[in-house]
Structure 1
């Protein structure tokens, strides 16, 4: 195993029009990494100039091609000069002061690890119910994991050997990469350490809805790509969305049209919320049930596009 005290660590940050959030992100990485690469996807707010002013190497992504976060991360990877590790960060995140040291300790404790991630928190969870839901979503179990999010420290050689991110995915690119890394023998670990502060900036229901539609799309596409494998990648998530968000509502409507008492089948939804509330609390349970309709929309959008031979463009929520 390499001497983790002498390793080279670079960082790849991606963003567009993140303003002060990007500046905070880049400043939080200064002194923690050797080289800082910022990949910009068409900002008009001075992000490119600000990043250069903070010493980052800037890549201006060719926006004539369809944008994906995976494509942006690969563009950053292409500029790195064979570091031992690469820290991926979204431009709306700020890295915790002790994160890199904690992640390296995680690699020392788990020699087979190729990805180490920690606790991502929302900066303003009290600002809206939607931010609070995102903060709860980031609170994943500590221990060996199946996937990470957009922020993680990874072994550069392992990512390169896996071919990097799959650039045609509009969402879910990190879990898909983690699946391939695991198939190659690597491990993904979530450690008990503060990693990043994220600013979802979700103030309206429509933002949360679009974000959840994107998740449904990711579940469907991930299941289509790897659902038949031994990992059954996102197969259960995709099926739950379609069952609760499309098949059951269709059944309720058909039953109600056949007989007035058939509408009583709709009570399955409050019953499901009651069941989930024991684990998620009332707020989490209600939004989990509502979210299945958004997930179904995302999944159906993916499959309809696939039947038509069309790929959906990025689903943005802010």
Structure 2
């Protein structure tokens, strides 16, 4: 009788995946978010930013580790995410970042984990974020279009993504002081450190914007302009020209051209003919994105310009501002 002496190799241990959720007064949306992750990750950490609707207690009742952010300090979503990351166990390899108004699609974490496993230089994997109720308003529809970015190598991700914790730690995590645009800024630093970002063709999350009023959309666009200007101020001189073009477009279309028209009107009423540039631009954009999206893209430049000018005004005065919330 012969004995098989070939050693039996143990199955390679799978990397631990944890999740960090941030939110404030998300109510039922938060509970849906927590439930969507229960069978997909090892543990969930929820960072609560001063909720008054019982969100923290509800999360604790579900067995979730809750971190209550000190609201005496200036709040940013970036700071909340960093607080959650700081409480991850040392053996965590990957972390799913998600906003509390989102629900993670079943199977997403496994799909994204497999992609990270296959490429050791990959730091971030994101997928398709969709609006839960795009039919509720034109503003929700615009959000849904915005989430549909190209599949493949990416320059940035949004608030929902699976990330390699080692890569995040290597670049120091998010910038606490950014009130918006913290994810693209993080991805820029990751890329500079040699890491890559990838969007896979898979459903990732359902988002609930609850954006039904024009004022909400304007505020969100204004916040984008603020983020463009701040991002360009931080990294615009680099080879990536981070958000320089976006800031320039906002300032030209939302502030520069209107100012030129007003100045020219002081000399001749014919200057109003110069405003034909706007319908011309709308027609040009319509050929690429459709009439409705083109209209709001052009109109949004005025809100973005407001945000960009606000950033530069505050910067000149050496001041920061609080959040620009739209809901």
Separation of aligned partners in 2, 1:249 and 1:113: 44
Map of 1:40 onto structure 2: 48
Separation of aligned partners in 1, 2:203 and 2:271: 50
Corresponding residue to 2:218 among 201, 209, 224 = 209
Which residues of 2 match residues 107-256 of structure 1 at below 5 A?
107-256=116-265
Separation of aligned partners in 2, 1:5 and 1:213: 47
- Provide the alpha-carbon RMSD of the alignment: 1.1
Change (3 A) 1:5 1:214: farther
- Aligned: 1:294 with 2:303: yes
- Cα displacement (A) at 1:105: 2.5
Separation of aligned partners in 2, 1:4 and 1:97: 24
- Aligned: 1:97 with 2:106: yes
Question: Is residue 130–residue 202 contact of structure 1 (8 Å, CA) maintained in 2?
Answer: yes
Separation of aligned partners in 2, 1:5 and 1:279: 48
Map of 1:310 onto structure 2: 319
Separation of aligned partners in 1, 2:111 and 2:201: 9
Question: Is residue 108–residue 204 contact of structure 2 (8 Å, CA) maintained in 1?
Answer: yes
Separation of aligned partners in 2, 1:71 and 1:64: 13
What stretches of structure 1 of length at least 5 have no aligned partner? Answer: none
- Cα displacement (A) at 1:104: 1.6
Map of 2:72 onto structure 1: 64
- Aligned: 1:264 with 2:283: no
- Cα displacement (A) at 1:256: 2.1
- Cα displacement (A) at 1:212: 0.3
Separation of aligned partners in 1, 2:278 and 2:256: 13
Separation of aligned partners in 2, 1:178 and 1:257: 46
- Aligned: 1:10 with 2:22: no
SS of residue paired to 1:84: strand
TM-score of the two chains, using structure 1 as the length reference: 0.98
Separation of aligned partners in 2, 1:4 and 1:166: 35
Separation of aligned partners in 2, 1:222 and 1:308: 18
Moved over 6 A (4+): none
Separation of aligned partners in 1, 2:272 and 2:323: 37
| Deviation readout 1:37-59 (Å, 9 max, x if unpaired) | 00000001110111011111000
Separation of aligned partners in 2, 1:228 and 1:207: 32
Number of matched pairs: 316
Separation of aligned partners in 1, 2:25 and 2:51: 5
TM-score of the two chains, using structure 2 as the length reference: 0.95
